[in-house]
Amino acid sequence: MIKKYLLLLTIFLSGCSAGVPDGIKPVSDFEVNRYFGKWYEIARLDHSFERGLSNITAEYSLREDGNLRVLNRGYNIKKKKWQDAEGKAKFTGPSDIGSLKVSFFGPFYGGYNIIELDQQNYQYVMIAGNDRSYFWILSRTPKLDPAVQKRLINKARSLKFPVEKLIYVNHDLAKQ
- At 98-117, the pLDDT tens digits run 999 999 988 899 999 999 99
Q: Residue 175: which residues within 8 A CB-CB, separation 6 or more?
A: none
- The predicted model scores a pTM of 0.88
User: Domain extents for the chain?
Assistant: 26-168
How many CA atoms lie less than 13 Å away from 39 in the CB half-sphere? 25
Residues 89, 68 contacting (CB under 8 angstroms):
yes
**Does residue 3 surpass a pLDDT of 70?**
no
Helix (H) or strand (E) holding 85, with range, is: strand 81-91
3-class secondary-structure state, position 170: coil
User: What is the residue-averaged pLDDT of the chain?
Assistant: 89
State the pLDDT at residue 175.
64
Please say if the pLDDT value at position 47 is more than 50: yes
The model's pLDDT over 48-96, given as tens digits with 9 standing for 90+, comes to: 889 999 999 999 999 999 999 999 999 999 999 999 999 999 999 999 9
pLDDT average, residue stretch 13-22: 63
pLDDT at residue 107, rounded to an integer: 86
DSSP label at residue 74: E
Which residue, 161, 166, 163, is CA-closest to 23? 161
For domain 26-168, the CATH architecture is Beta Barrel (2.40)
Sequence-ordered list of residues with C-beta below 8 angstroms from that of 54, at least 6 positions apart, any chain = 74, 75, 77, 169, 170, 171, 172, 173
Cβ neighbours for 134, distance < 8 A, ≥ 6 positions apart: 45, 47, 110, 111, 128
Q: What's the whole-number mean pLDDT along residues 17-39?
A: 92
- pLDDT of 14 over the 80 cut: no
Torsion of CA 100, 105, 108, 111, to 10 degrees: -30
CA distance 69 to 91: 12
